[in-house]
């Protein structure tokens, strides 16, 4: 036999015993030494325990899984792959503890078309999270907290909540494709309008609010039967392409008497083209929401496997605006997975004019805070790991419509935590900006950053640390 | 008091709308001439306004209407009276795609046919089309009625919430999750009371009333615990 290698040679000594060959001097009896751990543990990189349990879940449910929060895709890059390179010999730093750094942020004034551009004291505002996804208490807290530090909140797609309108000095009113209770009265009470064509958590798919959260009040505001699983549209009812959108933008300008700016929010997918088209359609502000963006409920596969990372979308969006001569005319807002002032500062340096925070603001309100352990356990989770916004059973009273749970969130304390979180984030941004020698946070630039991974450099065009060259295709 | 004449022509759309608002504030009826099928004519007009457009209009005519009475002599483009809260809009000819999109109240009366997705996402009010409504009319209508006297195109009454589509004449095909039900005498009387002021009552009509089958209203699990498996 060709594969029998044993009959052509004979040792000049006796065959060793089987025991000796199998390390009998100390190896565990019955388990040959040197058998890899995969014998017990397995080692398929494809069929991981998670992948196996996912198949079991699909096989039992016969449907995809739905959950809230944000992506669990482990391959998402993080802002931690970027570092600032403050002023040293080539540049002069500002005194971080003493000198001032301007944080004023104006959105939507670049075209000179509207009377009242949005003027914020800080380059951060609260992301669009609907009343429905969040409780009325939570919405009011966000409004008061944001007002205290001179910034804005956004209604989300559920219509204008009176508590939020009262709380928010500056309120961005969202027109989602479903157009829940959009009318002239609400439009004229808004400080800015936002046309939604998508969101980072699930670009290309409409909003989702499971029946547990469709309370009497939600159903009235959204004109829906109580308790239905609201799965919203993603295509707008009255425009399809960019040319129609331009007419729509003009309509909204007439309806608001050219007073307030018009935002357009998109999920980050092809920002290089999408942002250019949005700018061409005539909006004042483009919001690009990266794949790390959060949501109250989504098919899990869309959270984990659609969209591109926030850091990569900002550079592409800024280059798109540069290329079509729209930088300065159209403002750019970045969003998706921004946790701190450090992340926000990196977004500004990459090219954003402002950032929007959603999950971070919820966490400041008390999301995933170490309280009500038993209720977290009942959801099968624990503080720090909860992602059950979709159930409406939020143990800390933020992502719920249950009055008893909602009462667990003190709206006044929540407002103050939001104000402090935003203040702290702003301090973080100015600390970095001043170290980089910038007297305005808006002077942060790509040159202030270096990448610590090839991936981050390739995604952003930021120079690699040390070698000082961008990873170049 | 005779109607004020506003010429549309090639003037800036803001100027034209400003004049319409001004006339409304003064309680003056308006006739808009030389409309050239311009987009965005008569946006957000208040109660008390009365505007008649000669010829045809483009997209979003009477958009976000807030109580005005608006007439279009000939045809209207996409999104006629989209987002209307209240008021009465009449189109003498045809209406394009998405007439009455997301409207929350008021009445639209189209004397000819209407294009696809008539009444898409509407939240209230009534749309009466004397001719045929285009494909996928009533798509995800939350509330209100679409009443077509001359038939309906494909995929009629697709994925409704609590809106209703009433059709006299042929329906080319039904959309997803539609129940065709026999209307009661009271329901027919209610529809007739909508048609009566328009002079369109005809007791010989054979109505088909389409409502949601409610299968798309829910995932199969209506219990929070079913969603905790992850």
CA A140 – CA A401 distance, rounded (Å): 14
- Residue of B44, B46, B76, B216 for testing the chain A interface, max A β-carbons within 10 Å: B44
Q: How many Å lie between the alpha carbon of A54 and the closest alpha carbon of chain B?
A: 9
**Least CB–CB distance from A223: residue in B79, B120, B143:** B143
Task: Give the model's pLDDT for residue B131.
Answer: 98
Q: Are A348 and A429 contacting, i.e. CB atoms less than 8 angstroms apart?
A: yes
Task: Give the model's pLDDT for residue B223.
Answer: 66
**Sign of the dihedral defined by the CA atoms of residues A353, A357, A361, A363, in that order:** negative
Helix (H) or strand (E) segment spanning residue A165: helix A162-167
Q: Does the structure show a pLDDT above 80 at B221?
A: no
Q: Are A410 and A144 contacting, i.e. CB atoms less than 8 angstroms apart?
A: no
Q: Is B64 on the interface with A (CB under 8 A)?
A: yes
**Least CB–CB distance from B14: residue in A180, A185, A258:** A258
CA A309 – CA A316 distance, rounded (Å): 11
CB contacts, 8 Å: A211 with chain B = 218, 222
By the 10 Å C-beta count (0-12 exposed, 13-18 middle, 19+ buried), A119 is classed as: middle
**Least CB–CB distance from A255: residue in B64, B161, B224:** B64
Give the residue from chain B lying closest to A300, CA to CA.
B230
List of domains in chain A:
73-366+409-460 (3.20.20.70)
**Least CB–CB distance from A65: residue in B17, B78, B230:** B230
CB within 8 Å: B66 and A185: yes
**Least CB–CB distance from B121: residue in A179, A228, A250:** A179
Q: Are A141 and A163 contacting, i.e. CB atoms less than 8 angstroms apart?
A: no
By the 10 Å C-beta count (0-12 exposed, 13-18 middle, 19+ buried), B222 is classed as: middle
Cα–chain-centroid distance for residue A186? 27
Q: Is A178 on the interface with B (CB under 8 A)?
A: yes
Q: How many Å lie between the alpha carbon of A187 and the closest alpha carbon of chain B?
A: 9
The count of other CB atoms within 10 Å of the CB of residue A65 is 17
CB within 8 Å: B78 and A239: yes
Give the residue from chain B lying closest to A62, CA to CA.
B220
Helix (H) or strand (E) segment spanning residue B68: strand B66-72
Q: Is B12 on the interface with A (CB under 8 A)?
A: no
The two structure tokens encoding residue B128: 């009466």
Task: Give the model's pLDDT for residue A411.
Answer: 96
CB within 8 Å: A251 and B40: yes
| CB-based contacts of A199, cutoff 8 Å, min separation 6 | A128, A265, A267, A289, A293, A295
Whole-number Cα distances in Å, A277 to A109, A281, A311, A321, A352: 19, 6, 20, 10, 18
**What are the tens digits of pLDDT across the range B18-68?**
999 999 999 999 999 999 999 999 999 999 999 999 999 999 999 999 999
- Residue of A59, A220, A223, A252 for testing the chain B interface, max B β-carbons within 10 Å: A223
CA B44 – CA B55 distance, rounded (Å): 20
- Residue of B37, B60, B99, B124 for testing the chain A interface, max A β-carbons within 10 Å: B60
Task: Give the model's pLDDT for residue A60.
Answer: 84
CA A347 – CA A277 distance, rounded (Å): 22
**Least CB–CB distance from B219: residue in A63, A237, A254:** A63
The two structure tokens encoding residue A74: 């482990």
By the 10 Å C-beta count (0-12 exposed, 13-18 middle, 19+ buried), A162 is classed as: exposed
Percentage of the residues of chain B whose pLDDT score is greater than 90 = 93
CB within 8 Å: B79 and A238: yes
The DSSP call for residue B88 is E
Q: Which residue has the tokens 């004034």?
A: A109
The CA-based angle A286-A291-A292, given to 5 degrees, is 105
| CB-based contacts of A99, cutoff 8 Å, min separation 6 | A434, A439
What's phi and psi for A367, nearest 5 deg? -55, 130
Whole-number Cα distances in Å, A196 to A471, B8, B56, B143: 34, 31, 30, 23
Whole-number Cα distances in Å, A132 to A29, A153, A214, B82: 63, 15, 7, 24
Average pLDDT, chain B: 96
The CA-based angle B43-A281-A291, given to 5 degrees, is 115
Q: Is B13 on the interface with A (CB under 8 A)?
A: yes
* Beta pairing, strands B66-72 & B86-91: parallel
ipTM of the complex: 0.96
| CB-based contacts of A394, cutoff 8 Å, min separation 6 | A135, A367, A388, A400, A405
Q: Are A83 and A449 contacting, i.e. CB atoms less than 8 angstroms apart?
A: yes
Say whether A182 sits in a helix, a strand or coil. coil
Q: Which residue has the tokens 């970027």?
A: A82
CA B92 – CA A255 distance, rounded (Å): 25
Strands (E), B92-136: 107-110, 123-129
Cβ–Cβ pairs < 8 A, chains A and B:
136
Q: Which residues of chain A have pLDDT under 70?
A: 1-2, 30, 32, 473
Which ranges of A196-269 does DSSP label H, i.e. alpha helix?
216-222, 242-255
* Beta pairing, strands B207-212 & B164-168: antiparallel
Q: How many Å lie between the alpha carbon of B202 and the closest alpha carbon of chain A?
A: 31
Q: Is A33 on the interface with B (CB under 8 A)?
A: no
CB contacts, 8 Å: B58 with chain A = 247
Give the residue from chain B lying closest to A226, CA to CA.
B217
**Least CB–CB distance from A237: residue in B102, B124, B216:** B102
CB within 8 Å: A254 and B14: yes
Helix (H) or strand (E) segment spanning residue A318: helix A310-323
Q: Is A54 on the interface with B (CB under 8 A)?
A: no
CB contacts, 8 Å: A244 with chain B = 59, 78
Task: Give the model's pLDDT for residue B229.
Answer: 62
CB within 8 Å: A223 and B82: no
CB contacts, 8 Å: A380 with chain B = 228-229
Q: List, as ranges, residues 144-173 from B with C-beta within 8 Å of A.
A: 161-162
Q: Are A338 and A362 contacting, i.e. CB atoms less than 8 angstroms apart?
A: no
CA A275 – CA B16 distance, rounded (Å): 31
CA A361 – CA A355 distance, rounded (Å): 12
Q: What is the dihedral of CA B143, B149, B153, B157, to 10 degrees?
A: 20
Q: Is A213 on the interface with B (CB under 8 A)?
A: no
CA B61 – CA B76 distance, rounded (Å): 7
Give the residue from chain B lying closest to A256, CA to CA.
B44
CB contacts, 8 Å: A393 with chain B = 224
Q: List, as ranges, residues 280-299 from A with C-beta within 8 Å of B.
A: none
CA A59 – CA B144 distance, rounded (Å): 41
CA B44 – CA B66 distance, rounded (Å): 6
Q: How many Å lie between the alpha carbon of A202 and the closest alpha carbon of chain B?
A: 18
């Amino acid at each position: 036999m060709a594969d029998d290698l044993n009959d052509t040679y004979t040792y000049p000594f006796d065959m060793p015993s089987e025991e000796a060959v199998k390390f009998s001097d100390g190896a565990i009896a019955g388990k040959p030494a040197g058998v890899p751990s995969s014998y017990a543990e397995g080692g398929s990189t494809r069929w991981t325990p998670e992948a196996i349990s996912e198949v079991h879940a699909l096989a039992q449910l016969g449907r995809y899984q739905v959950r809230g929060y944000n992506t669990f895709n482990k391959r998402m890059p993080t802002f931690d792959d970027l570092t600032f390179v403050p002023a040293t010999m080539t540049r002069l730093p500002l005194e971080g503890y003493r000198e001032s750094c301007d944080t004023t942020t104006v959105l939507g004034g670049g075209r000179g078309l509207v009377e009242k551009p949005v003027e914020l004291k800080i380059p951060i505002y609260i992301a669009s999270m609907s009343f429905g996804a969040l409780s009325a208490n939570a919405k009011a807290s966000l409004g008061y907290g944001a007002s205290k530090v001179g910034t804005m909140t956004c209604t989300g797609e559920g219509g204008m909540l009176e508590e939020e309108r009262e709380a928010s000095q500056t309120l961005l009113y969202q027109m989602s494709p479903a157009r829940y209770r959009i009318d002239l009265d609400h439009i004229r009470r808004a400080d800015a309008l936002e046309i939604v064509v998508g969101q980072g958590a699930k670009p290309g798919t409409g909003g989702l609010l499971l029946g547990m959260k469709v309370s009497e009040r939600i159903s009235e505001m959204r004109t829906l039967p109580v308790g239905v699983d609201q799965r919203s549209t993603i295509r707008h009812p009255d425009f399809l392409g960019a040319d129609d959108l331009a007419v729509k933008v003009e309509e909204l300008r007439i309806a608001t008497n050219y007073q307030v700016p018009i935002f357009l929010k998109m999920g980050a997918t092809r920002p290089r083209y999408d942002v250019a088209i949005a700018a061409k359609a005539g909006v004042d502000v483009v919001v690009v929401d990266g794949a790390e963006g959060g949501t109250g409920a989504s098919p899990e596969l869309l959270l984990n496997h659609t969209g591109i990372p926030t850091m990569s979308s900002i550079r592409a969006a800024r280059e798109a605006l540069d290329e079509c001569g729209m930088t300065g005319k159209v403002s750019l807002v970045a969003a998706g997975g921004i946790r701190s002032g450090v992340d926000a500062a990196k977004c500004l340096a990459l090219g954003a004019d402002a950032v929007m925070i959603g999950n971070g603001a919820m966490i400041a309100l008390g999301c995933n805070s170490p309280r009500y352990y038993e209720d977290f356990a009942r959801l099968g989770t624990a503080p720090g790991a909860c992602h059950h916004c979709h159930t409406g059973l939020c143990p800390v009273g933020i992502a719920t419509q249950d009055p008893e749970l909602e009462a667990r969130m003190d709206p006044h304390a929540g407002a103050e935590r939001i104000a402090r979180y935003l203040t702290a984030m702003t301090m973080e941004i100015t600390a970095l900006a001043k170290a980089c020698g910038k007297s305005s946070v808006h002077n942060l630039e790509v040159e202030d950053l270096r990448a610590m991974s090839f991936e981050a450099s390739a995604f952003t065009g930021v120079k690699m640390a040390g070698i000082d060259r961008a990873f170049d295709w | 008091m005779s109607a004020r004449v506003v010429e549309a022509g090639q003037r800036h759309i803001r100027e034209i709308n400003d004049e319409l608002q001004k006339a409304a504030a003064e309680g003056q009826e308006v006739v808009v001439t030389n409309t050239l099928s311009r987009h965005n004519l008569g946006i957000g007009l208040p109660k008390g306004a009365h505007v008649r457009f000669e010829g045809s209009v483009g997209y979003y005519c009477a958009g976000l209407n807030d109580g005005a009475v608006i007439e279009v002599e000939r045809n209207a483009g996409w999104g006629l009276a989209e987002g209307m809260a209240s008021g009465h809009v009449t189109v003498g000819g045809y209406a394009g795609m998405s007439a009455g999109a997301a409207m929350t109240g008021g009445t639209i009366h189209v004397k000819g046919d209407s294009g696809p997705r008539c009444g898409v996402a509407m939240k209230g009010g009534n749309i009466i089309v004397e001719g045929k409504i285009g494909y996928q009319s009533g798509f995800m209508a939350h509330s209100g009625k679409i009443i077509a006297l001359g038939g309906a195109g494909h995929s009629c009454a697709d994925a409704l919430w609590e809106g209703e589509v009433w059709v006299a004449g042929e329906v080319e095909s039904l959309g997803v999750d539609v129940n065709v039900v026999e209307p009661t005498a009271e329901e027919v009387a209610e529809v007739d009371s909508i048609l009566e002021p328009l002079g369109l009552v005809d007791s010989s009509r054979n109505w088909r009333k389409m409502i949601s089958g409610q299968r798309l209203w829910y995932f199969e699990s209506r219990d929070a615990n079913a969603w905790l498996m992850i």
